[in-house]
Structure formats: structure tokens, C-alpha cells
Amino acid sequence: MSDISKSNNWRLSREEESIDGDVATREAKPELKRPQLFKVVLLNDDYTPMEFVVEILEVFFRMNREQATHVMLTVHTQGKGICGIYTRDIAETKMGQVNQYARENEHPLLCEIEASGE
């Protein structure tokens, strides 16, 4: 083998390639999938004050007053509204925080998660 071939073999192996005869092959990298996303949804009820819903959206979903008011009105007029889209763990945590906070403040407000399809 010539000096050039030897140096090329060394370079290929340094790049995590292996030489099989005269054919260079590279190990396949595993394909990574994006995690499934979930919508955090607030459900309308006839008892929770609108201002409390706005507070929930500002505190737990970091919305400004205008965004929170828009989502609150969507919940009020359409029966439910999307607060955000997150991975499962984060969506479940936010749902639990909102439901616990509502109960602690004696409001029947309900928050749930739905698969987002994204």
C-alpha cells in the first residue's frame, strides 16, 4: 500500500468510518423523533370569575393582559380555549398546577390536555 493510501485509511478511521476492503462505510446515526405535543385547554363553567381566568393565564402561562383576556373570552364564548402547546410532561404539570390553584381558591375551573396533532 502506498504512503498516500495509508494516510487516507488513517484519516477515514479517525472520522469514525471503517474500511471494508475498498469500500468505506459509516455507522448510521439513530433517527430522533420530535416528542408529541399536547394542548393545555381551559374549559368554561358558569361560576369562575373572568378575572380569575385572566390571572391563571398570566401566572401559569406567562401571557400579557391582552393575550390572557383574548383567551379568556374564547373560553367564555366557545366553551374552551387553548392556553399553550407543550410536551406531555410540561402540559401535565401546567394542568395540575391550574387545577390545584383553582381548587385552593374554591373555583370549579377545569384544565385538561389534548393531543395537538403537531
Q: Give residue-wise pLDDT tens across range 86-109.
A: 999 999 999 999 999 999 999 999
Residue 64: all three cell numbers together: 400579557
Average pLDDT, integer, range 1-28 = 56
Answer for the pair 92, 105: CB distance below 8 angstroms, yes or no. no
Residue 14's pLDDT is what? 46
pLDDT at 79 over 60: yes
Go through the domains of the chain in sequence order and give each one's CATH number. 1-29 (no CATH), 37-115 (3.30.1390.10)
Helix axes 88-104, 50-61, angle to 10 degrees: 140
Query: What strands, in cross-sheet order, belong to the sheet with 80-87?
Result: 80-87, 37-43, 110-115
Answer for the pair 112, 95: CB distance below 8 angstroms, yes or no. yes
pLDDT 10s digits, 27-70: 888 889 999 999 999 999 999 999 999 999 999 999 999 999 99
